[in-house]
A and B are shown apart, each in its own frame.
Chain A
Amino acid sequence: MQRNGKKATDLQIAICGSAGDGTIAAGDMVKRAMARAGYKVIAFDVYPPEIRGFGKCISRVRVTSEQVFSLKPKSDVLISLDDSHAIPHVGEVKDYGAVIYEDMPVTMVPEGGHISGHLLSSHLPYGVPFRELSERVTSSARSRNIAVVGYLAGLYGMPRDVFYAVISDKFKTKPAVLTKMSIQTFDAAFEVGENTFRLDEGVLKPPPKKAKHGELVMMSGNGAIAKGCMDAGLDTFFGYPITPATTIMERLAVDLPKQGKRMLQTEDEISAISAAIGAGYTGARAATATSGPGFALMSEMMGLGTMAEVPVVIFVSQRGGPSTGMPTKTEQSDLNIAVFGAAGDGQRIVLAPTNVEGCYKCAGKAFEIAERYQTPVVVLLDLYLSNRYEAVALPAKNPFAANCSKPVGKLGKDQPYHRYALTRDFISPRAIPGDKGRRHAVTGLEHDENGRPNDHTHEMMSRKRHEKLHSVVRYPGITMSKRFGDKGKVDVAIIGWGSTFGEILEAMIIARDEGIRCAAMKVVLLSPLPMEPINALLADAAEVLVPELNYEGQFANLLTGTTGRAVTRLNRVPGTPMHVEDIVDEIRRLAAKKKGRKALAAE
């Protein structure tokens, strides 16, 4: 990363090991410490493909002085805690980057099994006796991951105090001796790192400014979802475990009981959504979280939520599909099912945050919106966003409002309460069971204003259910879409959604630095689409590019279907985030195409 001609801090570290090596914990310490030190941090962990067992874990942490929006395709540093897992990742270390590894294994290594034999000619090797270092201090190799962190910190001159704080935090519920020994291991390895002659080209300058502790919080996307739920006053949560959504449930299982509230693990996803809708019906703020296969099971009950006009929030973290697909790989292929996937004309509200802070906002606002519009709200995440960590600045004041239902108001004497009353904005005043004098029925059958089954109202009620959603584009306190980059006419507009928007933004910045006039738009509200800003951007753009991680171009289809504008699709399904370079290449190609057309016209 260049700023004013000088290299600014931009160090991406990948730690690779086996489940049980403390790989993710090591990455966690690095990201938390760096955020404390005041750097911008973005991180992404990858767990074993098998849910159980000792598979591969990788923790990637990008530390920068300026805000960035995605991980880099190549890391500056690869640390191996298990060579058998790390060897296939050697190629993702950039030229003149560092590979750090154990050089004193306890047992013989099979021929070709040591990572030193797999480095590219441009890599810089750092062999360190981590096991020995850990054993020397703690008489056990278990703190090898802390030795790794200490060495890394020493090698790149990271501030020690922030690591002490993070280690103390990590072991605060354990006997004090554990903290002490961990810090000793850290220090011993730090000294080795500090005295190592550094030959690689990774850049870590002193932090931009010393952050006050607590100002920035390291959070994963799922962590931010859980925090958003809690801050929005979630009353109850029903769920069934599924990667990559499970950690939302796990977090809430800890946090809800602290407020005297309940999380219930149901027997399957159908029960989870049914229970959540049941709770919503009673006036509780209720939610569930799942992934593609679970979401498919929920679609019938989603229809009930729409028809009965019951608020409920469903967090869907996408993974590679269809079917069981690739449980630990990321993808954006559940857009169709989120927007369209239910029987009948069942339009619903779909939000898709693009970063971790967005996860927090969307989670909390989803409850307000579900209540306000009395309908299911789907918050669409994906594995990359769920597991990605970023340093988030949380608002000092809770930004979410309690009870956003349209109040019933005073009814005249003998005036009956109509649960599905037709109003100017198509939103009916909402009562909940038990409200005195507001007795009503809800049903999945088509009904009249009173909730009584009635086929003749279908046209009118269908209109009500659709029309009431339109004003959500202007719902306050949440960004439904946002344009970045050049204003006015542009050669290329890039429109994206979900986690891929980070890569889109990075690509747009690179393209603009190259002199290409371009703008990028993130669309957070995927249903109903915010047509005004989208149409304005399309009108400004000579070429429109839609990069997304699905094979069909689901968002591109949605855009073309609603605007009639042809777009260029960039679809990838590698199971990993989109490469910034791929997007940049496509922007360059489209910009050149536009230039070519201009030249032809001039001739």
Chain B
Amino acid sequence: MSTHSHFVIIGSGGAGSEAALIIRKRDPKCTITQITGSKLPFISRYELPRVFDGVDNWRDLLAHPPEFYDDNAITVRRNSWVDHVDAKNKKVLLRHKEEVSYDKLLVASGGGGYLPEGLREFRPLMNGLGSYEDAVKMRQALPSKGHVIMLGGDMTGLDLARTLVAVGHKVTLVAGEQLFWPHEVEEKKEKKFVTVLEAMGVKVVLGKKVMAIRKGAKGEPARRVVFDDGGGINGDAVMPFCGLMPALDFMIGANVDIERGLLVNPELKTTNDSIWAAGDVCQIWSPEENSYLFYYGWHHIKEMGEIAAINMTGGKKKISTYQDDHLYINKQGDIDSPYWMYR
């Protein structure tokens, strides 16, 4: 198929980038514009822990060299934030007051780290890991053999934890409700996984509620995490890993259905005929479960990008809405997950 349509993709993460490539392959003449808040070309977020493992230059983390986008005639508008989508007039409004018209729109804006309400006021004292810049700032904040306190314990955090331990840092995990998220682990299995995690070098603190995060006293490490029982621990940095929150504020008022994520059918189309969604931002209808579900992890993200692209360019493909991802212990005796099989 070949059109002169303008495909606009919001987001340059795994889902959006895969979609752009597939659209180009299927429609050589169309115009493709990716709009992203990111300053850098696509760096897979799964690769960010490598910053702690000696990778010093962002160019070493790029999924594709800059020429790739020129070769495939994909315009990536970086450092540009979408503020609103005017679905009626098929326009995307950028924060810097420019409208971009589209024929077909893919929302692949992913999500940001979720922060439970009680922790939000302490945000300035915590380090995130949403971007390359975050990762470098975090690395700079850490002395050699530094001590990182992680809150929550989702799979993204645990991925980083194993890298940090491997390069000589100390990690203490104050486990929260999101331990092992997005996996749902039965209580009796959880204990076993925690034991393995400790054997992997991560100290796990269970059953404590975080009340506050403070700056460390003079001569002490830079941060102190205070528990509800009055106790606490000191560390050089605090990082929350409490699951994801879809990034879709800009879709409010765009005349599409939203629950926690953008609601899409198994073909990844939203309730608007010109708008599709893929990646962490969408919740897909699962006939098996009779509800809308999130599908996380590298292989899902890539597949969603591909399927959305196929359907946006006239194809008809459904995503498998059967979920079988589970946590397990690998041959080396470490915790492992399909979620981590990206390298």
B-binding residues in A (CB < 8 A): 95-96, 102-105, 107-111, 113-114, 116-117, 119-122, 124-127, 197, 199
Residues of B within 8 A of A (CB): 39-41, 58-59, 66-70, 75-80, 94-101, 133, 136-137
CA–CA, A197 and B133, complex, Å: 7
Check A105 against B80 for contact (C-beta < 8 Å).
no
Task: Say which residue of B79, B98, B101 sits within 8 Å of A108 (CB atoms).
Answer: B98
Contact B66 A111 (CB under 8 A): no
The reply to whether A197 and B75 form a contact with Cβ atoms under 8 Å apart is: no
Residues of A with C-beta under 8 A to B101: 111
Is B76 a contact partner of A121 (Cβ separation < 8 A)?
yes
Interface of A is mostly: loop
A127 neighbours in B (Cβ, 8 Å): 79, 96
* Interface CB pairs A-B, < 8 A, 7: A104-B97, A107-B97, A111-B99, A116-B77, A125-B78, A125-B79, A126-B79
Chain B interface secondary structure, helix, strand, loop or mixed? mixed
Closest chain-B Cβ to A333's Cβ sits at a distance in Å of: 37
B38 to chain A, nearest CB (A): 10
Q: Which residue of A lies closest to B75 (CB)?
A: A117
Choose from A96, A103, A120 the contact partner of B96 (Cβ within 8 Å): A103
A119 touches B66 (CB 8 A): no
- What distance in Å separates the Cβ of A94 from its nearest Cβ neighbour in chain B? 12
Return the chain B residue nearest A107 by Cβ: B97
A591-B50 Cα distance, complex, nearest whole Å: 46
Q: Which of B70, B96, B100 contacts A105 (CB 8 A)?
A: B96
- A121:B67 contact, CB within 8 angstroms: yes
Q: Of A111, A114, A199, which is within 8 A of B39 by CB?
A: A199
B97 touches A105 (CB 8 A): yes
Query: Do B98 and A113 touch (CB < 8 A)?
Result: yes
Chain B nearest CB from A51 CB (Å) reads 33
**B78–A116 contact, CB under 8 A?**
yes
Q: Bound state CA distance, A127 and B97, in angstroms? A: 13
Question: Contact between A125 and B70 (Cβ–Cβ < 8 Å)?
Answer: no
Chain B contacts for A109, CB-based, 8 A: 96-98
Assembled-state Cα–Cα distance A383/B124 (Å)? 53
Looking across the interface, which residue of chain B has its beta carbon closest to that of A124?
B39
Contacts of A113 in B (CB 8 A): 98
B34 to chain A, nearest CB (A): 11
List 13 other contacts, CB 8 Å, given A96-B59, A108-B97, A114-B98.
A95-B66, A103-B95, A108-B98, A111-B100, A113-B98, A116-B79, A117-B77, A120-B70, A121-B76, A125-B79, A126-B39, A127-B96, A199-B40
Report the nearest B residue to A121, measured CB to CB.
Answer: B66
User: Which of A96, A111, A120, A124 is B98 in contact with, Cβ under 8 Å?
Assistant: A111
What residues on A are CB-neighbors of B67 within 8 Å? 121
In contact, B41 and A121 (Cβ under 8 angstroms): yes
Q: How far is the CB of A87 from chain B (nearest CB, A)?
A: 13
With a CB–CB cut-off of 8 A, which chain A residues contact B59? 96
List chain B residues, Cβ under 8 A from A96.
Answer: 59
Whether A199 and B58, one on each chain, are in contact in the complex, defined by CB atoms closer than 8 angstroms, is yes
CA distance A565 to B136 in the complex (A): 61
With A95-B66, A197-B136, A199-B39 as known contacts, state yes or no: A104 contacts B96, CB within 8 Å: yes
Q: Which of A108, A119, A197 contacts B78 (CB 8 A)?
A: A119
> How far does the alpha carbon of A266 sit from the alpha carbon of B334 in the complex, in Å?
90
Shortest distance in angstroms between B72's beta carbon and chain A's nearest beta carbon? 10
Cα separation A119 to B78 with both chains bound (whole Å): 9
The answer for the CA separation of A109 and B95 in the assembled complex, in Å, is 11
How many whole Å from A107's CB to the nearest CB in chain B? 7
A567 to B77, CA, bound (A): 49
Q: Which of B41, B70, B80, B99 contacts A116 (CB under 8 A)? A: B80
Contact between chains at A116 and B66 (CB < 8 Å) = no
In angstroms, how far is the closest chain A Cβ from the Cβ of B273?
Answer: 22
Q: Which residues of A contact B95 (CB under 8 A)?
A: 103
* Chain B residue with Cβ nearest A106: B97
Nearest-neighbour CB distance to chain B for A129, whole angstroms, equals 9
Tell me, rounded to whole Å, the shortest Cβ–Cβ distance linking A561 to chain B: 48
Task: Name the contact of B99 in the complex, choosing from A108, A119, A124, A197 (C-beta under 8 A).
Answer: A108
Q: Are A117 and B97 in contact (CB under 8 A)?
A: no
CB-CB nearest in chain B for A103: B96
In the complex formed, the residue of B with least CB distance to A122 is: B66
B93 to chain A, nearest CB (A): 9
CB contacts (< 8 Å) of B79 on chain A: these are 103, 116, 125-127
A199 to B133 CA separation, bound complex (whole angstroms): 9
CA distance A108 to B66 in the complex (A): 30
Q: How far is the CA of A152 from the CA of B99 in the complex (A)?
A: 28
| Inter-chain contact B96/A114, CB cutoff 8 Å | yes
Give me the 7 closest cross-chain CB pairs, A-B, nearest first.
A121-B66, A122-B66, A125-B79, A109-B98, A121-B69, A197-B133, A114-B98
Q: How far apart are A124's CB and chain B's nearest CB, in angstroms? A: 6
**Complex-state Cα separation, A122 to B68, whole angstroms:** 10
